[in-house]
Amino acid sequence: MIEITPATASGPGAAAADAAPCIGVFDSGLGGLTVLAALRRRLPHARLLYAADSAFAPYGERDAAYVQERSRVLTRFLLAQGAQMIVVACNTATALAIAELRAEWPGLPFVGIEPAIKPALAARAQADGPVGVLATSATLASGRFRALLAQHGAGARVVLQACPGLVEAIETRGPQAPPTLELLRRFCQPLRDAGCTSVVLGCTHYPLLTDAIRAVVGDSVRLLDPADAVAAQAERLARALPAQTRGAGLLAWSNGEAALLLRVAEACALPIEHVLALPQESPEAA
């Protein structure tokens, strides 16, 4: 796990130029771009495919069956584009769907993302304040998250803060829109009031709001984002993938607003110039 502004990776991640695995990445929308940026730092010679399911966001306020079906649709789409590995760059989809995806495609490598509870608690000194967790309602209610908390959080002070509507605000208004920031301030204030000294960003959309989060909880509070840990795991698994004939590249699809995706991609230092249309299949039609 890393601080919110990770150093550029080097070393084994800079694989030989002729080793160009194809990695598919999906999220309910824009948040997975933060994971995509970490993947590109770790695997600069990989072919990266990104699918933003913005028309069906937010996943965090849907039931498990819905999230599982959308995850299947996106996995099938990315496989059709040549993906050899799938990165589930969404905490809610990881919590509710990755087990089903692995069962359906047992030979396909999947990498999921989870709130950084373990490193947050491991790094916490005895005198530190509570660890705060910002996440979607679905992530906090999931059995996967509860098991993670039970395994690593015994005896620790952990403040769980659900953020209903925040992903939708980011997707429809943008991360810097005043209504988005006002909603964020409301969710962050209880963490400040509780004296949290670490805050886990439990949704890939939330790193897009780093400055605004710090403005509420304070500059001294550690913000933990698992994006680089996800990229490191993908890097390890990619070593076993056969190189494709096509070299490095970065392609993005969305069924939402392309202009907003491009603005967020630019903020993440991702050189995405065009956004292709992602089919808007409904769960019933998939």
Catalytic residue among 22, 90, 188, 268: 90
Strands 2-3 and 222-225: antiparallel
> Beta partners for 22?
47
One of 163, 188, 196, 203 is an active-site residue; which one? 203
Q: Which of 120, 96, 125, 91 is nearest to 207 (CA)?
A: 91
List b or e across 76-112, with b for residues whose CB sees 16 or more CB atoms inside 10 angstroms. Answer: ebbbeeebbbbbbbbbbbbbbbbebbeeeeeeebbbb
Q: Does residue 178 have a cis bond before it (omega within 30 degrees)?
A: no
Whole-angstrom Cα distance, residue 69 to residue 71?
Answer: 5
pLDDT along the chain (286 residues), means of 10: 34 47 96 97 95 95 95 97 97 96 97 92 78 95 92 87 96 95 97 96 96 95 95 95 79 96 96 92 48
Task: Look at residue 279 in the predicted model and tell me its pLDDT.
Answer: 87
- pLDDT of the residue at 75: 98
Tell me if residue 163 is catalytic: no
Tokens of 251: 């392609």
For each of the domains in the chain, give its residue range(s) and CATH number, in order of start: 2-113+228-277 (3.40.50.1860), 117-225 (3.40.50.1860)
What pLDDT shows up at residue 5? 31
pTM of the model: 0.87
Segment (H or E) for 171: helix 166-173
What strand order describes the sheet that includes 85-88?
Answer: 110-111, 85-88, 22-27, 47-52, 249-254, 276-277
Contact assessment for residue 2 and residue 229, using Cβ atoms and an 8 Å cutoff: yes
Whole-angstrom distance, CA of residue 162 vs CA of residue 209: 16
